[in-house]
Amino acid sequence: MMRTHLRDELELLQRIGALDEDELAEANRHGHEASFIAPIGQRVAG
């Protein structure tokens, strides 16, 4: 890893015109869906 934050990478992609707002939202949504960490409200107590 390059020790960057995903937020910064997405901002860069928008700034250089690689992704528009809709594409950024879709990429973010896919990232959350692919994550192995469940959202706080959906976590199962261990």
Q: What b/e readout covers 12-34, taking b as 16+ CB neighbours within 10 angstroms?
A: eeeeeeebeeeeeeeeeeeeeee
Q: Decide: helix, strand or coil at residue 19.
A: coil
Tens place of pLDDT per residue across the chain (46 aa): 567 788 898 899 999 999 999 999 998 888 878 877 777 777 776 6
Other Cβ atoms less than 10 A from the Cβ of 42: the count is: 6
What is residue 14's predicted lDDT score, i.e. its pLDDT? 95
> Model-level pTM?
0.61
For the CA atoms of the chain, what is the radius of gyration?
13
